Structure 1
Amino acid sequence: MELVKNSVWNVRTVDGLSSGLYRVLQVFDDIPCLILFYLENPKGITRPIAIELDKFSRSIKQKKILEGSFSLPPHLLLSEEEIDESYKTIRDENFSLIEVLVSDLEFIFDYATKKKIPRLAKHANDKGKARTTISRLLNSYWRYGQDKNALLPAYQYSGGAGKQRKVSEKPIGAPKTSRTLAVKRPKTFIMTATDKDNIRKALKKHHLKPGGKSLVETRKELLREYYANEVKRAEALGEAPYVPSYKQVREWKYKLFTDNEISEKSSTEKDLLLNKRELLGDTKKKWPVPGSCFEIDATVADVHIVSSFGKQYVLGRPTIYSIVDRASGLIVGLNVSLYFASWRAARQALANAFLPKASYCKEFGITIQDSDWPAAHIPLRLMCDNGEMIGLAPQKLVVPFTELQLSPPYRPDFKAMVESRFGLLNDEMIHKLLGTTRGGKVVRGDKDPRKDAIYTLKEFTALLIDAVLELNRSIYNSLATSSSLLIEKDISPTPLNFWKSHIAEHKHALKLADSSEVISRLYPPTKASMTRDGIKYNDMYYSCDRVIKDKLASIARTKGQWQLDVRINENTTNYIYVRFEKNDVFTKCNLLGKSNMMKDQPMLESEFVMDWLDKNHEENPISVESIDSKVKRTNIEKNAKARARNDKLTPTEKIKNTRERRKIEIEQTANKVEDNSVSSPQEKSHSNTESKPSSVVYLPRRRR
């Protein structure tokens, strides 16, 4: 079993160690020993413990030590963009106090083996801090995964909720953005005092009353009463009307009215007291070992692909992101997408490199064991381009995991390993496919490669995964001369064998990461809704065991839907990761049968459908005919009320002899129809006489 830095072990009965969970802080090969940190004392100050490597390995074989798990607190499971800047400042200040200590292996060894550590006191004095403060920061850093984010403050956000911003010519909040380039969104409506007053009136008249209309219907009434001319103008010009959106109406409902007012106005007194009143009573020669450095780069594949919805439609050439371990040459991460080289696609490749590969391959119909592609670790540093990886998002999201290094411009030799892997993939697989451009080596007069394209994105990815697995098993002579370990063990010099043999001997610079941490930080964050049909995201529905067990869909049906934090894998629509409660970890939820049309598709397909729907709703919030029909209904209502006022009968006289009057009304109505449609017997006779022919026509006789 692998002994990896940052892994967690459950100690049962080992002499010199208390029972409980321990984290591996460091593995010393020259001594040899392990430095462990006890995780069962969250409040007190705990010092690391040193143990012989042979003793620890022997205890594992004897089942006295088992592989364990340690869940990180919820406030650490945040993507970098979700962390408040003030919290980052506190985190960075705390890390600067202990950065020198945690990066010094000699200090860690002395701290775990010696009783007195003068260097700790001197360091605290130099920093102007108490020794206990430095000790507690060291404890937090080691307890929560030896990551800078372990020093984030453990309290919730605070802000200026409820404050209204001043209205200006520039729209407030995030602008409308198109998920794809195929749909252009209209401009955002800017609310004025008059618009707010109109919304207030419409809400009072149609929505906030017992048995009132839904908010969707209320917005339609708002547009009919106050924005009819704008809707007609937009209809004539063939553009989206400049009117308040449904989201704006819903937002201002809670700004113009308090929760108490909404509850009181939309309920009768009996319903309010019975069902809505308060209940207060109860409650990765410089890079000698795997993990020293990973290289990441992107390239446009030399092959055209087609759409999965229509095989006759060519989508162009996909982008391949590859991550390669510099020491072993093992391809540790892969991502194929329709996006160009960008941080959006790169973060998917990083997540793929940091997570196990068996489930990823299974999505493309390839069954492997984790040992066939054992790369699921974080490297010591990551070498990348200064293109898409120079932005703020990679700096914020990747640096907490590993050190980010940028290669100089126009120097691909700084990433020679990953560049060579692209060339091998082209020679071994891509340039042999139908639809390939062969790296631009097209002779004039040759057939257009786009006309030969036959592979979908999923099929091409499956072929590429199979080629990657073959490259990882290929023999490279350079590996045999870079390390004597392969010769000692008499195994083939392949990247896979190099990786496994070095890890088995604890000669690596890899670190394990919690899968929930990778998902929460690298997968794109978004929101979904818990509805009666399941968890709704991009008009697709998902579910899991918790939804069924806790009957969340039933609750959403009776109490209304609510929003959930979601992380998505842009390679597939088959599942998403959902956080049900603020203090929960992310749970994998699978696509339901009702959304099978989008099964095994990339998220881009669902986003195009959403853009198409948004465009139709915004161009046609209500029909012009509904405005005219509203006027007709109003006139009919006025006429009926006027006739009723002129009626001199008493209520008793109105309901008297209802059966007789009903019978007379039926007879009068039936007679009118009969008189108009049925003719008399004389007319029938005259009609029959006129229709008779004036001569006899003989039919031909049949042969005898």
Structure 2
Amino acid sequence: MELPRNSVWELHDSDLAEDGLYRILELMHDVESVVLFPLNQTSRSVRPLALSIEAFTEHVKSQKAKKSEFNLPSFLLVAEENIPEEHIARRDKNYALIEGIVFDRAFVFDYATKKRVPHLAEYARTMEIDRKVLARLLTQYWRYGQDKSALLPAFSLSGGLGKERRTTGNPLGSPKQPRTVAVERAAKYVISDIDKSKFKKALKKYYLKKTCLTLSKTYKNMLVDSYADEVRIAHSCGRPPLVPTLKQFSYWAKKLFNKEEMVKGRTTENDHLRNKRGLLGSVIQDSYLPGTHFEIDATVADVHIVSELGSQHLLGRPTIYIVIDRASRMIVGMHVSLYHASWRAARQALANSFLPKADYCKEFGVDIHDSEWPCSHIPKELVCDNGEMIGLKAQKALTPMTRLSFTPPYRPDCKGVVEKRFDILNKELIHDFLGTTRGGNNVVRGTRDPRKDAIYTLREVTTEIIKAILEHNRSIYDDLAFSSPLLIENDLPPTPINYWKVHLAKHKHDLQAALPDEVIARLLPPAKVSMTRSGVHFNGLYYSCREIEDRNLASVARTSGQWRLEARIDENTTNHIYVRLDKNYGFTLCHLLPRSRMFGGKSMYESDFMQDWLDSKKEQAPISVTSIDDHKYRQKMALDAKKRNKNATSISFNQKIKNTRQHRTDELRATTNMLEDSKGNVEVIATPESKAVVSKVVSLPVGRKRRTKGETS
């Protein structure tokens, strides 16, 4: 059994010594004794005791003596280079005083077993110090570990640190000193326990509230509530009132309430949890594997945009949706739209997250390979707001694919990874755009309205955000290096895309494969389209595909009439839609026809804008003013004609249509100057009266004479 020197043991239910902690000073095998020093005694001069080694060993075997620990005071746990020179000098001086006796085994045994030890007094006279001083130094040396540093002065405890000083009727601290002899300062006020209770009451009533009153305002309210009588009497007598000062009030406020109570009392629980609590956790404390948690959130971009169809039309600020993997910080999906935060926009972002990105980026002029943004998976859990995602539509669409987790209201810190990405996008990209609001912070009155500088379209903003996201996924983040050892093992820079790829390559992830048909059917916004003779019609645009041409569906619609079809719309582009041509089959990709090429490469929001613009023009002018005048003139002309016809001689219909050609020729001769040449051609020479109406009449070519029955060639 090991009984190392300087080890600490705890005795209980022992008949050898009192219960408590003991330090082993020496093992003296020549006298079969172990010398122990009691650590529980707080006296400045304590003597050790000697026990039989055999008896102490039996106590250890019977569990009456157990190995324990003794915590050294903080002033001894200081590095040698941080100890002041004067403390080192004092320590070395004290150690030199006991060095000649503390290692004398005979003295230590006698000091532990005998009541009188003449050797201690003789050594004290030799060193020219008092015997009691020598005994105190030995006690300090043995209590704190039999080390030279045990003799360091305990100045850190000087002045009664941590203990409340009791007043004796005289004011504590330095007196008030006037700067000049011409002014006499008021007497210093002595704080009593009654004053402390008044301080505490006032702090609870005014300071530790959500109103966040200042300490000086709280002090004034306390004087009104608790010292009003003294202030009135002093004012009547023309002397300073005997009341606590603001400095005393501030001092005791920190003594009566600790900092944690001050912080919690002056804010709401929600604000404390969001902005003031300790951040001891980590986003990867539950799992460091990609795909365990995806976070989704939306924000309104800090920039105004204009329409692609006309830069004079301001569209406001778009909404950005971001989906990010919590473990790898990889942005796995995005969506930029003109819709506010809603399930309609969120489903587009989720569809983008679960589908390959190469075709999506190509729609915005960014050519990448799938390996540059290798995210087309469904997570184990989707962390979202307690907002648009809590509806029945979202749960019905997503529950078969993944599990939804909702954060508490007003707690964006529960999905802090995606919230931080918005801050990065705004500061590094969007705030550099013309038309930016810069978050609306530090707005100075008279500054230029950012809407006047808006020049970028939704497509241009989306393109730049895609590039910023690709750059983010390639950026180095120090935290990733401490999240998983795979990056170090494979000597890869700690970037989100490397973190993602190396964990997928090692099959360490919680991702599941996404079926494109299922994602399109469940997440893309549904719509009704019409199969017409010109193709699939949706929102003023026409689409077609090879299957429609092979089945000749446009011809069927022309002869049999159009019919309705189910479709899924990708609102990022007008170049294609997904149409279910048969209810028993999946969705077919249909491309934009050349007749709608004006909208090629634009988003569906531009088509909506065109429809709104067209409706507004129709509402602005349902009919023209000229058409009203023309209609009234036609009514008058019809009335005049009816009157003229009524006054005409009544003849039969056969007589009326008889000799129509001759009547036509007579009308020409009467109204114009008509000349006939030898070939029978008619040339009309306009008279001055007819010049305003017609200048020349040319006869039309005569067609082939039709044969009647019975005629021969």
- The CA deviation string for residues 512-569 of structure 1, in whole angstroms up to 9 with x for no partner, is 2221221122111111222222222111222222233333323323332222222111
CA distance in 2, matches of 1:646, 1:462: 80
Whether 2:672 is the aligned partner of 1:670: answer yes
1:404 corresponds to = 404
The match for 1:504 is: 505
Which residue of 1 is the match for residue 430 of structure 2? 430
Please, which moves more after superposition, 461-470 or 639-648?
Answer: 639-648
Q: For 1:411 and 1:678, how far apart are their aligned partners in 2?
A: 89
Who is 2:362 aligned against? Answer: 362
For residues 233-259 of structure 1, give each alpha carbon's deviation from its aligned partner in whole angstroms, at most 9, with x where no partner exists. xxxxxxxxxxxxxxxxxxxxxxxxxxx
Q: Which runs of 5+ in 1 are unaligned?
A: 1-283, 680-704
User: Counterpart of 1:589?
Assistant: 590
For 1:583 and 1:643, locate their aligned partners in 2 and report how far apart those are by CA, in whole Å. 72
Structure 1 residues 298 and 667: CA distance shift in structure 2, 3 A: same
Superposition deviation, residue 341 in structure 1: 1.6
| CA distance in 1 between partners of 2:288 and 2:686 (Å) | 105
Structure 1 CA distance, aligned partners of 2:629 and 2:394?
52
What is the letter of the counterpart of residue 548 of structure 2? V
- Tell me what 1:475 maps to: 476
TM-score, normalised relative to structure 2: 0.50
Q: Displacement of 1:436 after TM fit?
A: 3.0
CA distance in 1, matches of 2:316, 2:617: 27
Q: For the structure 1 residues 437 and 618, does the alpha-carbon distance in structure 2 shift closer, same or farther, using more than 3 Å as the test? A: closer
Alignment of 1:295-694 (within 5 A): 295-442=295-442, 444=444, 446-614=447-615, 646-648=650-652, 651=654, 657-670=659-672, 677=688
After superposition, the Cα gap between the structure-2 partners of 1:611 and 1:292, relative to the gap in structure 1 and judged at 3 Å, is same
Residue deviations 1:178-225, cap 9 Å, x none? xxxxxxxxxxxxxxxxxxxxxxxxxxxxxxxxxxxxxxxxxxxxxxxx
**Residue 386 of structure 1, CA deviation:** 0.8
Q: Is the 8 A contact 1:475 1:492 kept in 2?
A: yes
Matched residue type, 1:424: I
1:76-115 → structure 2 map (5 Å cutoff): none
Q: Deviation per CA, 1:390-411: give whole Å up to 9, x if none.
A: 2232222222221111100111
- The change in CA–CA distance for 1:538 and 1:626 in structure 2 (over 3 A counts) is farther
Alpha-carbon distance in 1 for matches of 2:439, 2:423: 10
Assess, with a 3 A threshold, how the Cα gap between structure 1 residues 313 and 627 changes in structure 2: closer, same or farther. closer
CA distance in 1, matches of 2:348, 2:355: 11
- 1:396–1:315 CA distance, 2 compared to 1 (3 A): same
Instruction: Name the CA distance, whole Å, in 2 between partners of 1:305 and 1:662.
Output: 66
Correspondence for 1:61: none
Cα distance in structure 1, aligned partners of 2:568 and 2:474: 33
User: Residue type of the partner of 1:473?
Assistant: R
After superposition, the Cα gap between the structure-2 partners of 1:437 and 1:607, relative to the gap in structure 1 and judged at 3 Å, is: closer
Classify the secondary structure of the residue corresponding to 2:289.
Answer: coil
Evaluate the alpha carbon distance shift between residue 438 and residue 671 of structure 1 in structure 2; reply closer, same or farther with a 3 A threshold.
Answer: closer
Aligned counterparts of 1:614 and 1:678: Cα–Cα separation in 2: 48
Query: After the TM superposition, which residues 268-279 of structure 1 pair with which residues of structure 2 at under 5 Å, given as runs?
Result: none
User: Hey, what's the Cα distance between the residues in 1 that align with 2:374 and 2:402?
Assistant: 19
Partners of 2:361 and 2:688 in 1: how far apart? 75
Partner of 2:3: none
Alpha carbons 1:529, 1:561 under 8 Å: kept:
yes
Q: Deviations over 1:303-349 (max 9, x none)?
A: 33333233355433221110011121110011111222222211111
Q: Is the 8 A contact 2:543 2:590 kept in 1?
A: yes
Matches of 2:465 and 2:310, distance apart in 1: 22
Equivalent-residue separation in structure 2 for 1:572 and 1:533 (angstroms): 21
| Partner Cα distance (1:344, 1:583) in 2 | 26
AA partner of residue 568 (structure 2): R
Structure 1 residue 425: Cα displacement: 2.0
Indicate how the Cα distance of structure 1 residues 625 and 389 shifts in structure 2: closer, same or farther if over 3 A, else same: farther
Q: How many Å separate the matches in 2 of 1:678 and 1:310?
A: 52
Q: Cα distance 1:423–1:614, how it changes in 2: closer, same or farther (>3 A)?
A: closer
Alpha-carbon distance, 1:481 to partner: 2.2
Letter of the 1:333 partner, please give it. Answer: G
Contact 1:287 1:326 (8 Å CA) reproduced: no
Cα deviation for residue 594 of structure 1 reads 2.3
Query: Following the alignment from structure 1 to structure 2, what is the Cα–Cα distance between the partners of residues 665 and 374?
Result: 85
Aligned partners of 2:308 and 2:606 also within 8 Å = no
Change (3 A) 1:590 1:298: same
Cα gap change, 1:521 to 1:648, in 2 (>3 Å): same
Listed one character per residue, the Cα deviations across residues 352-377 of structure 1 (whole Å, up to 9, x for unaligned) are 10111001111111111111111111
Q: Report how many aligned residue pairs link the two structures.
A: 394
Report Cα offsets for 1:23-59 as digits up to 9, x if no partner: xxxxxxxxxxxxxxxxxxxxxxxxxxxxxxxxxxxxx
The letter for the 2-side match of 1:341 is: A
Residue type at the aligned position of 2:320: I
Q: Which has the higher contact order (CA 8 A, sep 6+)?
A: 1
**1:588 match: secondary structure:** strand
- 1:132-179: CA deviations, max 9, x gaps? xxxxxxxxxxxxxxxxxxxxxxxxxxxxxxxxxxxxxxxxxxxxxxxx
Work out which of the two has the higher radius of gyration on C-alpha atoms and give 1 or 2. 2
Q: Could you tell me how far apart the structure 2 residues matched to 1:628 and 1:431 are?
A: 59
In 2: Cα distance, 1:514 partner to 1:636 partner: 75
Deviation at residue 661 of structure 1 after TM alignment:
4.0
Per-residue CA deviation, residues 495-528 of structure 1 (Å, 9 max, x unaligned), is 1112112222222221222212211221111112
Distance in structure 2 (CA, Å) of the matches to 1:670 and 1:645: 26
Question: Hey, what's the Cα distance between the residues in 1 that align with 2:415 and 2:357?
Answer: 23
Give the aligned CA root-mean-square deviation in angstroms.
3.4
- Cα distance change of structure 1 residues 430 and 669 upon mapping to structure 2, 3 Å threshold: closer
Q: Which amino acid aligns with 1:325?
A: D
Shift of 1:456: 2.0
Q: CA deviation at 1:655?
A: 5.9
Distance apart, 1:290 and its partner CA = 1.4
- Counterpart CA distance in 2 for 1:561 and 1:664 is 54
1:332–1:674: structure 2 CA closer, same or farther, 3 Å change rule? closer
Partner of 1:294: 294
- Percent identity, please: 57
Matched position secondary structure for 2:518: helix
The within-5 A match list for 1:237-256 is none
Aligned to 1:482, the other structure's residue is in SS state coil
Give the whole-Å Cα distance in 2 for the aligned partners of 1:568 and 1:285: 39
One-letter identity of the residue aligned with 1:332: V
CA displacement, residues 269-327 of structure 1 (integer Å, 9 cap, x when unaligned): xxxxxxxxxxxxxxx94223111111001112223333323335543322111001112
Segments of 5+ residues of structure 2 without an aligned counterpart are 1-283, 675-683, 691-713
Separation of aligned partners in 2, 1:539 and 1:303: 29
Letter in 2 for 1:647: I
Distance 1:645 1:401 in 2: 88
- Change in CA separation of 1:631 and 1:529 when aligned onto 2, cut-off 3 Å: farther
CA contact (8 A) 2:580 2:588 kept: yes
For 2:403, give the aligned amino acid.
Answer: E
Deviations 1:565-586 (Å, cap 9, x if unpaired)? Answer: 2211122222211122222321
SS state of the match for residue 464, structure 1? helix
Partner Cα separation in structure 1 for residue 355 and residue 565 of structure 2:
24
Matched residues in 2 for 1:339 and 1:678: separation?
67
Cα gap change, 1:636 to 1:470, in 2 (>3 Å): same
Q: Which letter does structure 1 place at the counterpart of 2:665?
A: K
Partner of 1:323: helix, strand, or coil? strand
Shift of 1:351: 0.8
Correspondence for 2:31 = none
Q: Residue 482 of structure 2 aligns to a residue in which SS?
A: helix
* Paired amino acid for 2:407: S
Aligned match of 1:210: none
